[in-house]
Amino acid sequence: MFLRPLSDWPLERRRAVRGLFTDIDDTLTTEGVLTREAEAALGALRDAGITVVAITGRPMGWSQPFVRQWPVAAIVPENGAMALLPDGRQWFVQDEAVRRANAERLAVVARRVLADVPGACLARDSAGRVTDIAVDHSEFAHLPPERIEQVVALMREAGMVATVSSIHINGWFGEHDKWRGAVWIARELLGIDLGADLDRWAYVGDSTNDQVMFERFDNSVGVANIARFLPQLTHRPRYVTRGERGAGFAEVAEALLAARD
């Protein structure tokens, strides 16, 4: 599938958008930081009445301060396993008993990955994780493609869902993912059926763990650094920005806001 430039996004489709889901790392943030440009874009979208929900592989603990600081309606961490709201509320897809039982299984898989995959190390944000494990491949450590594939294979062999973001390999037990998390938060927070309302929503992402969203959203955008992952993508975004990371996100916001003038 050919990636069209963002300028090809039809005005009438942009004008219909009332909500935006976005990945965080290397989509909203740049080098791990929310730039002033990206933060201003979030604020402008909020002020225009466009709901923004960040959906990410980052853990609950990492996300808690940002949901209070950033102008977003919610953050859905750990690939759709939970939701954090600015007022401090926390919602979980799995009940406490399931999370507790899965924690033991996650620990077993983590130990096996560290023992069997040379160079593998857990992500530095692992202490804040509740429902998954994450192996660092590009944030503070480096794993070559063959080692990434080995980690994914071990996770899947253990019965986990495994996905690769721009920085981590995430694995978890359960049926949730970014798409199911988006459907869930749209229903719980906004009272809407996302599947029936997709023409009023858009998605922005940058890597392979965004494929479940690219597959479903006609209004799907990849920031320019998605080029790194294009060979691994079965489902690609419809449009692509000129800028990378937060600058690309700001382009998306500008395109949506311009359609409302």
Q: What is the CATH number of the domain that holds 37?
A: 3.40.50.1000
Kindly state whether residues 136 and 232 are assigned to the same domain. no
Kindly state whether residues 107 and 88 are assigned to the same domain. no
Kindly state whether residues 132 and 71 are assigned to the same domain. no
Kindly state whether residues 142 and 89 are assigned to the same domain. no
Sign of CA dihedral 168, 174, 178, 182: negative
At residue 61, what is the residue type?
G
pTM of this structure: 0.96
| Predicted pLDDT of residue 261 | 75
Kindly state whether residues 16 and 140 are assigned to the same domain. no
Tokens standing for residue 133: 């494990």
- Determine the structural domain holding residue 139 and report its residue range: 96-172
Kindly state whether residues 70 and 141 are assigned to the same domain. no
Kindly state whether residues 185 and 62 are assigned to the same domain. yes
Burial code of 128-159, b = ≥16 C-beta within 10 A, e = fewer?
Answer: bbbbbbbbbbbbebebeeebbebbbebbeebe
**Which of 121, 146, 172 is the last residue before a domain boundary?**
172
Kindly state whether residues 135 and 160 are assigned to the same domain. yes
Kindly state whether residues 68 and 125 are assigned to the same domain. no
Q: Contact at 8 Å (CB) between 117 and 149?
A: no
**Which of 172, 207, 238 is the last residue before a domain boundary?**
172
How many residues are there in the chain?
Answer: 261
Kindly state whether residues 43 and 160 are assigned to the same domain. no
Q: Which residue reads 């406490």 in tokens?
A: 96
Q: Could you give the CA distance from residue 131 to residue 93 in angstroms, rounded to a whole number?
A: 10
Q: Could you give the CA distance from residue 169 to residue 184 in angstroms, rounded to a whole number?
A: 23
Number of domains making up the chain: 2
At residue 162, φ and ψ (nearest 5 deg) are -130, 140
**Which of 133, 157, 172 is the last residue before a domain boundary?**
172
Kindly state whether residues 30 and 81 are assigned to the same domain. yes
| Predicted pLDDT of residue 77 | 98
Q: Could you give the CA distance from residue 177 to residue 161 in angstroms, rounded to a whole number?
A: 9
Sign of CA dihedral 78, 18, 73, 6: positive
Q: Contact at 8 Å (CB) between 219 and 184?
A: no
Q: Could you give the CA distance from residue 4 to residue 227 in angstroms, rounded to a whole number?
A: 13
pLDDT in tens, the chain (261 residues): 578 999 999 999 999 999 999 999 999 999 999 999 999 999 999 999 999 999 999 999 999 999 999 999 999 999 999 999 999 999 999 999 999 999 999 999 999 999 999 999 999 999 999 999 999 999 999 999 999 999 999 999 999 999 999 999 999 999 999 999 999 999 999 999 999 999 999 999 999 999 999 999 999 999 999 999 999 999 999 999 999 999 999 999 999 999 997
Strands ordered across the beta sheet of 132-136? 132-136, 168-172, 161-164
Of residues 97, 27, 34, the one with CA closest to residue 57: 27
Q: Could you give the CA distance from residue 181 to residue 60 in angstroms, rounded to a whole number?
A: 14
Kindly state whether residues 190 and 64 are assigned to the same domain. yes
